[in-house]
Structure formats: C-alpha cells, structure tokens
C-alpha cells in the first residue's frame, strides 16, 4: 500500500484524503431532535419518577428516561423520524401517544395527564 501511495501524484493523494475526510464527516453529522414535557395526575399534581419511553416506529429503537421531582422530562439526541411515547407509573394507567414526527432540530412538547389505574398483585 505504501508503494502505491508513493507513486500517486500529490494532487491525487490530497484529493483522496479530502474525499475520505468528507465521507467521515457526513457520518458524524447525524440530524437529531428532542421530545420534552411534563407528567401530572388527573388533579394536576406532578408525577415524579414516571418512566417515559420513546420508540422510533421505523426501527423499534427505544430511549427511556424518568420524570424529575417537578414531573418534567427531556429525551435529547433522538434521530429524526416517527415516534410513539409511552408513560407509565405504578398505580396509573399507561399513557400512549403515537404519530409524533421529529424533524431536524424539532422540539415537540408532549404533556401527559395520567389516570389512576387499578393496582394488581
């Protein structure tokens, strides 16, 4: 390989290096977006510790987070595409919202009101 590179004209070698670098850079520059919001119960009280799952519907890749003490959550660096959001917490019914479309740099807010559910043993 080294002998082949020595025989190439400098302009060709520089061009090959530039093409390689540009190809690598496009792989690193992936377009992303985020989903954020808050989770409350039916009375309007915040629900800390609820699990928030965002599933990219084309790939079934799942990202999860939990709500903070103020009931808020943020899922960052999500690849663009269509998503389904599920929110669950023991003692509440699971909330599901489909059809959330993320585009480059979008930041949709998905606020959730959980309903009290039956506790099973």
Report the distance separating Cα 121 and Cα 112, nearest Å.
Answer: 26
In this prediction the pTM is 0.73
State the pLDDT at residue 121.
Answer: 36
**Under-50 pLDDT residues of the chain:** 25-27, 121
7: left (phi over 0), alpha (psi -120 to 50) or beta: alpha
What percentage of the chain exceeds 90 in pLDDT?
A: 69
Distance between CA atoms of 105 and 67, rounded to whole angstroms? 22
Q: Are the beta carbons of 68 and 28 closer than 8 angstroms?
A: no
Task: Determine the pLDDT at residue 105.
Answer: 85
Q: For position 53, what pLDDT does the model report? A: 98
In the sheet with 112-114, reading across from the earlier edge strand, the strands are: 72-79, 32-41, 112-114
The C-alpha atoms of residue 102 and residue 79 are separated, in whole angstroms, by: 8
Tens of pLDDT, residue by residue over 76-108, are 999 999 999 999 999 999 999 999 999 998 899
Q: Report the pLDDT value the prediction gives residue 25, as an integer from 0 to 100.
A: 47
């Amino acid at each position: 390989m080294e002998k082949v590179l020595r025989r190439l004209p400098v302009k060709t070698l520089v061009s090959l290096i530039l093409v390689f670098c540009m190809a690598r850079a496009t792989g690193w520059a992936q377009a992303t977006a985020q989903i954020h919001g808050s989770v409350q119960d039916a009375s309007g009280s915040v629900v800390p510790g609820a699990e928030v799952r965002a599933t990219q519907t084309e790939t079934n890749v799942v990202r999860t987070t939990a709500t903070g003490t103020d009931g808020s959550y943020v899922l960052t660096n999500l690849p663009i595409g269509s998503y389904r959001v599920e929110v669950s917490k023991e003692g509440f019914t699971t909330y599901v919202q489909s059809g959330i479309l993320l585009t480059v740099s979008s930041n949709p807010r998905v606020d959730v009101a959980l309903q009290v559910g039956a506790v099973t043993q």
